[in-house]
Chain A
Amino acid sequence: MYRWLLCFRYLRTRYIALASIISVTLGVATLIVVNSVMAGFSAEMHERLHGLASDILIECHLSEGMPDPEGHINEIMDLCGDQVEGYSASVHVPAMLGIDFNGQLITRHVNFVGLDATTYDEVSHFGRYLLHPDNQNQVSFELRESGYAPGRDQFPSSGWDYRRARVAYEKALDEERSNREAIENSNSTASTSTQPSLQITAPSELFSTSSDGDVATEFDPSSEQYPGIILGISTSSTRFRDANNEVKDHYYCRPGDDIRMMFPNASDNAKVVNQKFTVVDMYESGMSEYDSTFAFCRLDQLQDFRGMIDPATGVRSVTTIQLKLIEGADLNAVRDALRRRFPAEVYAYNIQTWRDMQGPLLAAVRLETTILNILLFLIIAVAGFGILATFFMIVVEKTRDIGTLKALGASGRGVMSIFLSYGLLLGFVGSGAGLVGGLLFVQNINSIAGVIEKITGQEVFDPTVYYFTEIPTIIDPITLTWVMFGAMTIAVIASVLPAMRAARMHPVNALRFE
């Protein structure tokens, strides 16, 4: 009893000891903030990565794809049907995206995906990341009238409204150009000048090819669209800061514009297919490597364009089968079973879980978190040396009291436990204050970031980099417990040596201490 009574009294009267645990408090608070932010970041990333990819991906590396997708799916269902909740077949092909930009062509390398909108949305959260609210509920490759990205002020007007206006403008521009050319031609015949005339190329001319030349003559862009395509938002936009340091997006194209895709056909002697598409929506997941590399169209259309239909049987082939597993299914076990069924020596298939695909990224985040934890615990360990020094001072200061306690019958172990309990109490107070401080910091992290931004003028969480509007945080009670436990352990360990010194003190020497 006297141990705890003295501990509490020492705690109330020895402010120097409280000062020595400030570093424990700061260390604990920092650990909590860092772990919460990293956990939030990691969870957000997990959710997005998993939302973009299905649980299991079976990719075929053959140019022609899997010849019999139905047969494959039947085999997969026979093998692990009890674990499969849904599946979707799709075609993935590398492609070149061409966007008209002020009469010139912007090209981007993209992964072009032909998907079945209904089943694809079941295996991944594809629809959730589209800009048009109707497409979020039901993915469609038909251009909508308007209403894209309703919550975004900066997003330019899109859809059929925009398309009709643009066509009318281009038509007017063409007419104006024709009139000018007619005037210039009449002038040139009238004069003998050999000055070259200014050649202006209409955007539509840049796009015209022999393959769709006939169609172009009959095609009315104000009422018709090409096959629909959904572009990753970063494939067709750029993000920058304006003169006022505000984040702005510039869109090279938008829903309602036509773009061109160039991709190989499915024959052994591959040739480039050059096809026009109409942008019907944009895809924004927040993961830049997805948003800047993916483009989506209807599966049957891409199969048609690439010639992935067996002329004899009429069976359409695919390059990829994606599986969604039931809740709690063992991803690795299913993957391994599929790998055994479709061995790499026989099938040119790559079978991966979504974790396998994002392994390096997830591992990097884990490693970063681990290193930060080690470094911050080292800070607390350094604080432990401060506690050790302070405790030695207190033991020296309390020498006569230690002698008194021993004269009153306290054992060496009892005296030792005073200082160990004191260390534990200090650790508890220090880490408790750190816990409260850390939790308050995490709760108000976005306002704090705002204040820091105002003071330093430096963006803490740059939206041009992260695509998050707020810093994501998750408070994990197990992490909090470990952090508290670790900090208190360090405080107790730091008090062991002074406590042992106190316990071993000779009572006579202690009583005589001046």
Chain B
Amino acid sequence: MNPDIVLEARTLKKSYHKDRIEVPVLKGIDLSVERGLVTTLVGRSGSGKSTLMHLLAALDHPDCGEIRFCGERIDNASRARRDAYRNRNLGIIFQFYHLLPELSAIENVLAPLMISQSALSYFRNRKEAKRRAEAMLDRVGLLHRAAHKPSEMSGGEMQRAAIARSLMANPSLLLADEPTGNLDTDTGRDILKLLRTLNEDDDLTILMITHDDSIAETADHCYRMKDGLLESDSAKLQVA
């Protein structure tokens, strides 16, 4: 086991069934995400990128194959362990931000901490938690919008809030599913810049899913996905 590998998938397969017809989505995926790098997974719509990301985030089960996080098998772990894995080890950001509309930006950022702690424990540590959430918001340049609800923010701001939320638990890996897919070019560029800064300053490992080759090219590693398969190593882009 290579200690530099944060996340590793071996021969992952996943099919969906529709009216007794099997629709294979992933046909045997091997993937490794190295610590401290930005890895992208590029592919066209319907190629299985999001399905793979759901498997890697332990939101779904593969039909066969295995997923290891820092050497620990995660795909067949208990439900509680998988919940904890998403809560503490992973940060996830989505194309559509998925902020909770009833909560303000800072409350959204605090959500992972609220989930992981009991009400009493959270109440005891609330000042420290709030300080950290403010630091995260400050990091993504959104402190001035801390009290604002998602409905009062722009797309770029919402994605920044989502990034701040994903960093709250100090994760080992950030999974980003089309983080710029719903943003205009300039805003998308800002978000990518932010992610790169986080990678460089905090040594944050990022696995980003995108359909945009130009974004994929900015990554340290790139996997290209086509028809449920990752293309051979020769297709893997090495970007300096």
State whether the Cβ of A407 lies closer than 8 Å to any Cβ in chain B: yes
Q: Which of A404, A412, A414 contacts B100 (CB 8 A)?
A: A404
Q: How far is the CA of A4 from the CA of B59 in the complex (A)?
A: 25
CB under 8 Å from chain B, chain A span 42-80 = none
Q: Would you call A5 and B114 a contact (CB within 8 A)?
A: yes
State whether the Cβ of A10 lies closer than 8 Å to any Cβ in chain B: yes
Q: Which residues from B are CB-within-8-Å of A243?
A: none
Q: Which residues from B are CB-within-8-Å of A400?
A: 98
The contact string, 1 if C-beta is below 8 Å from chain B, for chain A 1-20, is 11011100110010000000
- Whether A409 touches B100, Cβ cut-off 8 Å, given contacts A1-B122, A5-B107, A508-B54, is no
Q: Which residues from A are CB-within-8-Å of B180?
A: none
Q: Which residues from B are CB-within-8-Å of A1?
A: 114, 117-119, 122-123
Q: Which residues from A are CB-within-8-Å of B167?
A: none
State whether the Cβ of A403 lies closer than 8 Å to any Cβ in chain B: yes
State whether the Cβ of A401 lies closer than 8 Å to any Cβ in chain B: yes
State whether the Cβ of A333 lies closer than 8 Å to any Cβ in chain B: no
Q: Which residue of A lies closest to B107 (CB)?
A: A5
State whether the Cβ of A408 lies closer than 8 Å to any Cβ in chain B: yes
Q: How far is the CA of A411 from the CA of B83 in the complex (A)?
A: 6
- Whether A414 touches B115, Cβ cut-off 8 Å, given contacts A5-B103, A511-B98, is yes
CB under 8 Å from chain A, chain B span 37-72 = 54, 57, 59-60
Q: Which residues from B are CB-within-8-Å of A4?
A: 119
Please give the number of chain B residues whose Cβ is less than 8 angstroms from any Cβ of chain A in the complex.
Answer: 32
State whether the Cβ of B88 lies closer than 8 Å to any Cβ in chain A: yes
Q: How far is the CA of A10 from the CA of B117 in the complex (A)?
A: 21
State whether the Cβ of B1 lies closer than 8 Å to any Cβ in chain A: no
- Whether A6 touches B102, Cβ cut-off 8 Å, given contacts A407-B59, A408-B115, A410-B115, is yes
Interface of A is mostly: helix
Q: Which of A2, A13, A410, A508 contacts B83 (CB 8 A)?
A: A410
Q: Which of B80, B84, B92 contacts A407 (CB 8 A)?
A: B92
Q: Which residue of B lies closest to A406 (CB)?
A: B59
Q: How far is the CA of A411 from the CA of B79 in the complex (A)?
A: 8
Q: Which residues from B are CB-within-8-Å of A389?
A: none
Q: Would you call A409 and B86 a contact (CB within 8 A)?
A: yes
State whether the Cβ of A500 lies closer than 8 Å to any Cβ in chain B: no
Q: Which residues from B are CB-within-8-Å of A411?
A: 79-80, 83
State whether the Cβ of B111 lies closer than 8 Å to any Cβ in chain A: yes
The contact string, 1 if C-beta is below 8 Å from chain B, for chain A 390-419, is 000000000011011111111110100000
Q: Which residue of A lies closest to B123 (CB)?
A: A1
Q: How far is the CA of A512 from the CA of B205 in the complex (A)?
A: 25
Q: Which of B87, B107, B118, B122 contacts A408 (CB 8 A)?
A: B87
State whether the Cβ of B112 lies closer than 8 Å to any Cβ in chain A: yes
Q: Which residues from A are CB-within-8-Å of B92?
A: 407-408
State whether the Cβ of A430 lies closer than 8 Å to any Cβ in chain B: no
Q: Would you call B115 and A405 a contact (CB within 8 A)?
A: yes
Q: How far is the CA of A339 from the CA of B59 in the complex (A)?
A: 78
Q: How far is the CA of A1 from the CA of B111 in the complex (A)?
A: 9
Q: Which residues from B are CB-within-8-Å of A409?
A: 83-88, 112, 115-116
Q: Which residues from B are CB-within-8-Å of A6?
A: 100, 102-103
Q: How far is the CA of A508 from the CA of B57 in the complex (A)?
A: 10
CB under 8 Å from chain B, chain A span 183-202 = none
Q: Which of B83, B87, B100, B165 contacts A401 (CB 8 A)?
A: B100
Q: Which residue of B lies closest to A400 (CB)?
A: B98
Q: Would you call B59 and A507 a contact (CB within 8 A)?
A: yes
Q: Which of A13, A414, A511 contacts B102 (CB 8 A)?
A: A13
How near does chain B come to A408, taking the closest CB pair, in angstroms?
5
State whether the Cβ of B24 lies closer than 8 Å to any Cβ in chain A: no
Q: How far is the CA of A511 from the CA of B119 in the complex (A)?
A: 26
Q: How far is the CA of A414 from the CA of B86 in the complex (A)?
A: 15
State whether the Cβ of B141 lies closer than 8 Å to any Cβ in chain A: no
Q: Would you call B94 and A511 a contact (CB within 8 A)?
A: yes
How near does chain B come to A425, taking the closest CB pair, in angstroms?
14
Q: Which residue of A lies closest to B51 (CB)?
A: A508
Q: Which residues from B are CB-within-8-Å of A13?
A: 102
The contact string, 1 if C-beta is below 8 Å from chain B, for chain A 477-514, is 00000000000000000000000000000111001000
CB under 8 Å from chain A, chain B span 88-108 = 88, 92, 94, 98-103, 107
Q: Which residues from B are CB-within-8-Å of A407?
A: 57, 59, 86, 92, 94, 98
Q: Which residues from B are CB-within-8-Å of A2?
A: 111, 114-115
How near does chain B come to A420, taking the closest CB pair, in angstroms?
15
How near does chain A come to B45, taking the closest CB pair, in angstroms?
14
Q: Which residue of A lies closest to B117 (CB)?
A: A1
25 A-B pairs within 8 Å (CB atoms) are namely A1-B117, A1-B118, A1-B119, A5-B107, A5-B114, A6-B102, A6-B103, A9-B102, A403-B98, A404-B98, A404-B100, A405-B100, A406-B59, A407-B57, A407-B59, A408-B86, A408-B87, A408-B111, A408-B112, A409-B115, A410-B115, A411-B80, A506-B60, A507-B60, A508-B60
Q: A13-B102, A407-B92 are in contact. List 7 more A-B contacts (CB 8 A).
A: A1-B119, A1-B122, A9-B103, A407-B57, A408-B115, A508-B54, A508-B59
Q: Which 4 A-B pairs have the closest CB atoms?
A: A409-B87, A9-B102, A2-B114, A404-B98
